Structure 1
Amino acid sequence: MIQKYSRIALPLKISFLIFSMVLNCMGIIILQLSEENISYTNLGFLEAFKDLPIAIVSLFAATFINRFGSKISLIFSLSTVAVCSLLLPFVGGFWFFKLWFAIIGISFSVAKISVYGILRNTILEEIPLAKVMSSVEASFMIGIFVVNIGFGWLISSEYSDYWKFGFWIIALLAVINILLLLNAQIGKDADSSKLFSFREVSGFFSKKYFLFFLIIFAIVFIEQNFNSWLPSFYKKHLNVNSFFALQASAFLALFSYIGRIITSRIIQHFSLAKYFIGCTVAILGMLFLFQALVTNGYLQITLYIFPLIGLFLSPLYPVISSQMITNIGKTEIHLFTSLIVIFSSLGSSVGSIIMSYVFEFEYGGYYALFISGAVFGLLFLSFIYFRSFVSKKENNY
């Protein structure tokens, strides 16, 4: 089934790869700027400059996409990334990173809504959509792996002072993908260029959708915390060098990629709900295990096995998203995806701000696992209620 959509999926995968690299270089930038005496609190708010613009402009982005189409909108967002990546090495100052992440965040909101719209307009069935979404979302994890390995090597080399020029490779990749998209045969969106009304948005204010968005918030809260703050946790509390600290995020991303690829291959054999619950239970168990190891001083073991959590963490987002998207009409998909983006960005921003305050304490990093476990407990209970509610009301399971 994935082969059937491979020609469409390839530029979408590369798009997610590119945005993954620019969004998840946050851990690298936090690591580099923290050595310039910028406090963790200020660095934590840097995440908000990326995520809050995403939340603010997402509904307007959906209207923009409705007017110009998913394909043109995706090309526009990639062009913006290319220009921003070319400019980054030439402008210094902490203020520019705030502006840079704000622009990247807005571009990502346009790109993600466009990609989800293309997938929804192409694939109608739940299981095939889950398979292809897992495959496309897997490229997001590869982006995290590549950016941490690449910049980790650059930062630890004799050319460490030129680490910002690594973004030129991202700019080149964006240009190549734009050429692929120009030649791709992508179906047209449903005809609509009007602004969304409050009545249309309020249609997603039911209990079912509230629970879904709460789950999305919790998933991204955890994902982004691990991706952005894991290098600092390894360096500050496990006493490893910058290169090894970045490899922690890289291998977390690698195992996350493997988790999504496995999901795309086997998901047709399982109920989506049971698969989601199984992954969540495994994560909770691993978090309790890691906390016990850290508390009892088994740091070296934790150092190597923590990234394995990505195997179970990564399938959650595409599985729950595809399950809902298949029940959304083509005329509403951009609006619904914009709401997904809003709650995702809020989860990322709130999570990073909380972690920034936690990391200000001498032993704060150890409490980060407690916070993650508590949020996953909330996620698990929300999904159980979500499942029983939808089963009772709409018989979707």
Structure 2
Amino acid sequence: MSTNWKIKLSLYINYFVFAILLNSVGIVIAKSINVYGVNEKAASVLEAFKDLPIAIVSFFVASFLPRIGYKRAMLIALGIVFIGCLGMRFGNSFWAAKMMFLSVGVSFALIKLSVYSLVGVVTDSPRQHSALMSSVEGFFMVGIASAYFLFPAFYSETDANAWLNVYLFLCGGILLSFLFLVVSNVQIPAPTAGANWKEDIKSSLSLIAVPLVLVFICSAFFFVMIEQGIMTWLPRFNEKIFSFSEKLSVQMASLLAISLAVGRFVAGWLSKKISWAVIVIGCALLSIALLLAILPQLNVAAHVTRLVSISDVPVLGFMLPLIGLFIAPIYPLLNSTVLSHLPKNLHSPMSGLIIIFSALGGTLGSRIVGILFGEVGGVKAFYVLLIPMGLLIVSVLVIQWIIKKSRSVAAV
């Protein structure tokens, strides 16, 4: 057995737990509305408490991590999120939910930056690196889908606070990961003296002046607006528009996570045979077509029987989450395209920009949908997502034009 199995297992548990916490925003938003009595506009701020710390910490801390130590940074992150989960369990308030997601955002930034570096330390070849990274990211998708089953498992018809016990379960996973990490004896090379944080930030910001990077940032921003706008608000949409019970609303939202996982797998196969731009534009057009086919058929009835069983779910309730099949391929293909057309020495600052603008896009998308959900209703709020979908297509066409132009210049 590999001498690094303890730290590898810790990486798996970390990503699994954080996938559940990061993608529970929609569930907690629905709970905040139903239990804590906040409105949609106020509840939508939870996305910002999660995403903005990811962006800020990634921006300022990346250059310091080698000095802190990746293992130590992960232990600090696990300690922070452990306290955040306990605070949510016993705080039982909207304020506690804000603090919990704040702890999740700060911790995940440290975890993700550390994991990306540690994978290279605990593997011995490019093939091992690729295999471990793929399996860890795959476990993240499993965690996303698990969230939609784990939370409802703690729901109770007689105890409105029973769902909070899920955080004790998650604390157990965090503690387990912490212990495996503590007893791991991985040897991490001492960091060499590198750029200070000011130079690191300048390196990232200078990339924005590159046309390809600038347009890509817009594309990533638009995509995450779409993805988070749908993923965060689908449980509430199911409850409000389809009249699903609270438990069924969350369970049906799991179809979106499963669709996203399947879509990424299929895209990996298709990208070997079809141009990335064709796949991305085709997926965006199919997403638009799906929304235009479903949303006009949805009307909020004044008196609708609350649906509690999957057997009662109408066809449209199954169709909407399938949008994940079409939006899933977009993000990884965009990332791969821009990174493969930049020098390798710029991959690190580019990765920082990806994390930052993805977080900002997720916050804005969720916030806009949340505000519109309360003002004009869920159906019209989802119609607004057609705008970033259209802008995404335009951005992809511009990226393709920039790449072709740079190739023609290089050939001269």
Instruction: Provide the TM-score with structure 1 as the length reference.
Output: 0.84
State the distance in 2 between where 1:9 and 1:284 align: 40
Q: Counterpart in 2 of 1:85?
A: 85
State the distance in 2 between where 1:224 and 1:184 align: 38
What are the superposed Cα offsets for residues 120-154 of structure 1, whole Å, 9 maximum, x if unpaired? 887998x9999876654443332232112121232
Q: Counterpart in 1 of 2:310?
A: none
Equivalent of 1:253 in 233, 237, 257? 257
State the distance in 2 between where 1:49 and 1:20 align: 16
Q: Counterpart in 1 of 2:284?
A: 280
Instruction: Please say if 1:388 is aligned against 2:401.
Output: yes
Shift of 1:379: 0.9
Q: Is the 8 A contact 1:50 1:105 kept in 2?
A: yes
Which structure would you say has the larger RCO, counting Cα contacts within 8 Å and 6 or more residues apart? 1
Q: Counterpart in 1 of 2:358?
A: 344
Q: Counterpart in 2 of 1:33?
A: 32
Letter in 2 for 1:211: V
Instruction: Please say if 1:324 is aligned against 2:338.
Output: yes
Q: Counterpart in 1 of 2:196?
A: 194
Name the CA shift for 1:158/1:70 in 2 (closer, same or farther; >3 Å). Answer: same
State the distance in 1 between where 2:233 and 2:270 align: 31
State the distance in 2 between where 1:303 and 1:284 align: 17
Instruction: Provide the TM-score with structure 2 as the length reference.
Output: 0.81
Equivalent of 2:383 in 338, 354, 370? 370
State the distance in 2 between where 1:132 and 1:392 align: 36
Name the CA shift for 1:70/1:312 in 2 (closer, same or farther; >3 Å). Answer: farther
State the distance in 1 between where 2:68 and 2:79 align: 15
What are the superposed Cα offsets for residues 273-315 of structure 1, whole Å, 9 maximum, x if unpaired? 4433333232222222222433799x93221111111122223
SS state at 2:196 partner = coil
Equivalent of 2:211 in 207, 211, 215? 207
Q: Counterpart in 2 of 1:3?
A: none
Letter in 1 for 2:237: F
Name the CA shift for 1:75/1:324 in 2 (closer, same or farther; >3 Å). Answer: farther
State the distance in 2 between where 1:187 and 1:282 align: 46
Instruction: Please say if 1:237 is aligned against 2:234.
Output: no
What are the superposed Cα offsets for residues 222-275 of structure 1, whole Å, 9 maximum, x if unpaired? 111112111111111221110111123211112212222334456444444443
Q: Counterpart in 1 of 2:102?
A: 102
Name the CA shift for 1:133/1:222 in 2 (closer, same or farther; >3 Å). Answer: farther
Q: Counterpart in 1 of 2:325?
A: 311
Q: Is the 8 A contact 2:152 2:163 kept in 1?
A: no
Match runs of 1:148-167 below 5 Å: 148-156=148-156, 158=158, 160-167=160-167
Shift of 1:385: 0.8
Q: Is the 8 A contact 2:6 2:181 kept in 1?
A: no
Q: Is the 8 A contact 2:11 2:136 kept in 1?
A: yes
Shift of 1:186: 8.3
State the distance in 2 between where 1:309 and 1:337 align: 26
Q: Counterpart in 2 of 1:173?
A: 173
SS state at 1:38 partner = coil
The 10-residue stretch of structure 1 (42-51 or 183-192) with the greater mean CA deviation from structure 2: 183-192
State the distance in 2 between where 1:385 and 1:107 align: 35
Q: Is the 8 A contact 2:230 2:382 kept in 1?
A: no
The 10-residue stretch of structure 1 (43-52 or 196-205) with the greater mean CA deviation from structure 2: 196-205
Name the CA shift for 1:253/1:9 in 2 (closer, same or farther; >3 Å). Answer: farther
SS state at 2:44 partner = helix
Shift of 1:12: 4.4
The share of aligned pairs that are identical, in percent, is: 29
State the distance in 2 between where 1:130 and 1:177 align: 22
The structure with the largest alpha-carbon Rg is: 2
Gaps of 5+ in 1: 1-5
Q: Counterpart in 1 of 2:297?
A: 293
Aligned length: 389
Shift of 1:86: 3.0
Shift of 1:199: 3.4
Letter in 2 for 1:162: A
Name the CA shift for 1:212/1:75 in 2 (closer, same or farther; >3 Å). Answer: farther
State the distance in 2 between where 1:196 and 1:123 align: 33
Shift of 1:110: 2.0
SS state at 1:360 partner = helix
Shift of 1:28: 1.7
CA RMSD of the aligned region, Å?
A: 3.5
Shift of 1:378: 0.8
